[in-house]
Structure 1
Amino acid sequence: MEIDNSISKNIANPRELERMYREDPKAFKKSFSHAWEQNPDSPVLAAWYERLNFKEAAHTEKTSLLQKGFLFMGILAILAGISTRIIFHFVEQEAIAPINLAFGILPFIAAYFVYKNNPPKKVLYTLALMFLLSGLYLNMLPSNHNDSIILAYLHLPIFLWGLIGLAFIGNEYGMGRTRLAYLKFNLEFCILYASMAISGMLLAALTMQLFSFVGLDIEDFYFRNVVLFGAAALAIVATYLVSMNLKLAKNITPYIAKIFSPLVLATLLVYLITVIWVGKNPFLDRNFLLVFNGILFSVLAVTIFSITESGTDKKKNISDYISFALIILALIIDSVALSAIVFRLSSYGITPNRIAVLGVNILIWGNLIWIMVSYMRFLQNKTGPSTIQDAVTKYLPVYVLWAAFVTFTFPLIFN
């Protein structure tokens, strides 16, 4: 009762009320309700009432949301694990193609983002329809595994990745910052999933070794029923953790970008000089042309990785010049690859593989030109870093559309 009277007596003394609160917050909060009942018209006590109760309400609401999100994540993880195990059974029986395993994981990641972001119904219906049609179309393809079918299998995950992006972005699919956030999510997801997967592999190795000590070989059973289930469920868990702003992945990605960019640049320069020295020719050597394209994709991925993690700082640093050098290098590699592909098309004729590689190289060439021009303007202080990020994010739908074109038309055209 004494502190109740003290609160009432010091209504006009905010400093004393603050001192009392800091001295014993629990006692202050316990006695405040009585003082508030005695002085309901006091604006000072009204402010204190909101201060003391708003935090509790906010905390309760946040905890409730976390609990609901965690529960939904757990349900999706279990469903993803079960679905993947069932699909794997049919893959083993050679009833369906192995690419169907993607449908055991990716739709559930999209479902989590739909739950989290609550997109408009048109986006929800589009996602459901596209996943359904993709699954039906994939399993209607002939099982002869010719080049066009294999290309469809290779490009389908890129199209599904675009659908997950739509679920992530929701109704803000036209905004560059949301597309950039999706790219960052992918980087953080890969880092976190890889970290947890390594831990899982160590656990699996330990478990099988322990059982081997008692004369039981559980490797086949463990892979089919535990590893497979865990790998699928882990993807949903990693999605949830990244979406909850886990600091581990967010803090490490900028450092990885800064470390890997100069290493990749130095390695590729040495490699290209060596290639020229030994006289390798991508125009005549098909396998070397494939390696050349693999290098191009790697450089493009590292470049986008670096740009994504560069932030909005207008000050230029050494990382910007390294990224610009990587873009120039990638453009040179792509130009050589394009020339070699055109040469092989004119010399050996049209095939699905050559058309697919030509198309993606043209798309990458156009994207690299856009990024290079944006970077040049940034380095000349004519624009900010946002224009470089726009050159990356605004081009993403082009890759998804190309993947959809190859997936859904090549088997029809070339069969």
Structure 2
Amino acid sequence: MDVQTNNPIVANMANPHELESLFRREPDVFKRAFAYAWEQHPDSQVLAVWQERLFFKETSVRTQETALFQKGFLVMGILAILAGICTRILFYFIDQNTISPINLVFGVLPFMAAYFVYRNPSNKKVLYTLGAVFLLFAVYLNMLPLEYTDSIILVYLHLPVLLWVAVGLAFTGNEHGVGRVRLAYLKFNGEFGILYAIIAISGMLLTLLTMRLFTFAGMNISEFYFSNVVVFGAAALAIVAAYLVTKNLKLAKSIAPYIAKIFSPLVLATLAAYLITIVWVGKSPFLDRDFLLSFNGILLSVLAVTIFSITESGTDERKSMSDYINLALIVLALIIDTVALSAIVFRLSSYGITPNRLAVLGINLLIWANLIWIMRAYMPFLRGKMGPSAVQDAVTKYLPIYGLWAAIVTVVFPLVF
């Protein structure tokens, strides 16, 4: 259609019904035709109404959005710099062996939480809870002996999980009990991980190029560059990536669903082949401790992939092949978890209680219950008796339980063991 010489809007200026019909049939074509019609007839009251209808939001909100974007960008920049400086200071004390390396989480996560609080203001109860969690656990962590006993290592492994849940509280704010908002936090984590990895790979290429250039000049700057630029940049990048994801950057949001759809069947095929192989060769997690640990690593990976796939499926009521693959993954994960639980109980009864065995038993029980819940929610969804919200609730409502277990291991285990 030639909108310049044969403009349908000009031809139907006196026919409101036809104008509405043209707009509903082809909105994009209508807007292009309208631009030419408005140029030809700027005095038309009919076209003036359509001008406001089509572009009112763009003209009235643009200035406000620009101001908010600039302010948000400034806040992000300040928090990113503070995160980089704080992480560099912590790295210095870690290098001096005065504090444990896990302290690096306090160089990033509190600033990420601060950005979410700025973006989504919360009530005083949420703010006090966040402040107390980060402050008390920072003090508590550095009161523990700087040694690598089993109970201390468990603290180092579980504290980031606890703080991750705290960052989730900052993200969800006053709506921390709403499943939809919790699901958004899980989705944010997937997109954040993808974007961070993409930018980090670019940063690594820049690092290699920089070091190579200085090598040609006869200078070895690797230690200085890592201690100052890489450490600072890795921490600051976390805040920048969080900002970009929350600003609906299309790169991460476009890639994430495809990664979920590609990885789920690959993980399913790999896991099935692995289980068949270990049965064939006769490997047993009951007697081999390292094999039991690898079993649990596989279990956590499958759980992560399944949750990532569920969060990326959105609220689509229609079933897809990904949903059946997710269910198969859950069933296989349940088989792995059941075998792992049996092996852990066997080792507890045979060799006694240790912090590691008790911690692994606890997390396996939690995962087993979570997988059962997700599976029971998936079956009615696949039969068309229930929407996807039940599956998503099975994921989101369980998150605080993982945080509670991480808190128990972090606080109680060093005191008991």
TM score, norm. by length of structure 1: 0.89
Cα 1:44/1:96, change in 2 over 3 Å? same
The answer for the alignment partner of 1:197 in structure 2 is 200
Deviation readout 1:52-95 (Å, 9 max, x if unpaired): 77643310000000000000000001000000000000000011
- AA partner of residue 86 (structure 2): S
CA positional deviation for 1:363? 0.3
Deviation readout 1:242-291 (Å, 9 max, x if unpaired): 00001111111111111111111111111111101111111111111001
Cα 1:154/1:26, change in 2 over 3 Å? farther
The answer for the alignment partner of 2:349 in structure 1 is 346
The answer for the alignment partner of 2:111 in structure 1 is 108
Task: Tell me the secondary structure at the aligned position of residue 370 of structure 2.
Answer: helix
CA positional deviation for 1:313? 2.1
User: 322, 330, 333: which is aligned to 1:330?
Assistant: 333
On the 8 A contact 1:20/1:28 being kept in 2, the answer is: no
CA positional deviation for 1:226? 0.5
On the 8 A contact 2:76/2:240 being kept in 1, the answer is: yes
CA positional deviation for 1:352? 0.3
The answer for the alignment partner of 1:373 in structure 2 is 376
Matches within 5 A, 1:301-316: 301-316=304-319
On the 8 A contact 1:193/1:234 being kept in 2, the answer is: yes
Structure whose alpha-carbon radius of gyration is higher: 1
Matches within 5 A, 1:12-161: 22-23=35-36, 55-161=58-164
Count, aligned residues: 392
The answer for the alignment partner of 1:246 in structure 2 is 249
On the 8 A contact 2:341/2:365 being kept in 1, the answer is: yes
The answer for the alignment partner of 2:4 in structure 1 is none
The answer for the alignment partner of 1:320 in structure 2 is 323
On the 8 A contact 2:91/2:104 being kept in 1, the answer is: yes
The answer for the alignment partner of 1:184 in structure 2 is 187
The answer for the alignment partner of 2:10 in structure 1 is none
- AA partner of residue 286 (structure 1): R
Alignment partners' CA distance in 1, 2:326 and 2:52: 54
Task: Tell me the secondary structure at the aligned position of residue 215 of structure 1.
Answer: coil
The answer for the alignment partner of 1:362 in structure 2 is 365
On the 8 A contact 2:188/2:245 being kept in 1, the answer is: yes
On the 8 A contact 1:331/1:368 being kept in 2, the answer is: yes
RMSD: 2.4
Cα 1:403/1:45, change in 2 over 3 Å? same
- AA partner of residue 404 (structure 1): A
The answer for the alignment partner of 1:294 in structure 2 is 297
**Stretches of structure 1 lacking an aligned partner (at least 5 in a row):** 1-11, 36-41
CA positional deviation for 1:399? 0.5
CA positional deviation for 1:349? 0.4
On the 8 A contact 2:306/2:329 being kept in 1, the answer is: yes
On the 8 A contact 2:165/2:403 being kept in 1, the answer is: yes
CA positional deviation for 1:241? 0.1
CA positional deviation for 1:385? 1.3
On the 8 A contact 1:378/1:384 being kept in 2, the answer is: yes
Alignment partners' CA distance in 2, 1:208 and 1:247: 32
CA positional deviation for 1:312? 2.0
Task: Tell me the secondary structure at the aligned position of residue 335 of structure 2.
Answer: helix
- AA partner of residue 336 (structure 1): V
Alignment partners' CA distance in 2, 1:303 and 1:259: 12
Alignment partners' CA distance in 1, 2:309 and 2:355: 33
Task: Tell me the secondary structure at the aligned position of residue 140 of structure 1.
Answer: coil
Identity of paired residues, percent? 67
Cα 1:279/1:50, change in 2 over 3 Å? closer
CA positional deviation for 1:26? 8.4
Alignment partners' CA distance in 2, 1:108 and 1:152: 22
Alignment partners' CA distance in 1, 2:80 and 2:172: 21
Alignment partners' CA distance in 1, 2:266 and 2:338: 23
Matches within 5 A, 1:165-184: 165-184=168-187
TM score, norm. by length of structure 2: 0.89
Alignment partners' CA distance in 2, 1:27 and 1:68: 40
CA positional deviation for 1:51? 7.8
Alignment partners' CA distance in 1, 2:124 and 2:83: 24
More off after superposition, 271-280 vs 82-91: 271-280
Alignment partners' CA distance in 1, 2:72 and 2:244: 11
CA positional deviation for 1:408? 1.1
Cα 1:322/1:44, change in 2 over 3 Å? closer
Deviation readout 1:124-158 (Å, 9 max, x if unpaired): 11111110001000000112321111101110000
- AA partner of residue 222 (structure 1): Y
More off after superposition, 383-392 vs 84-93: 383-392
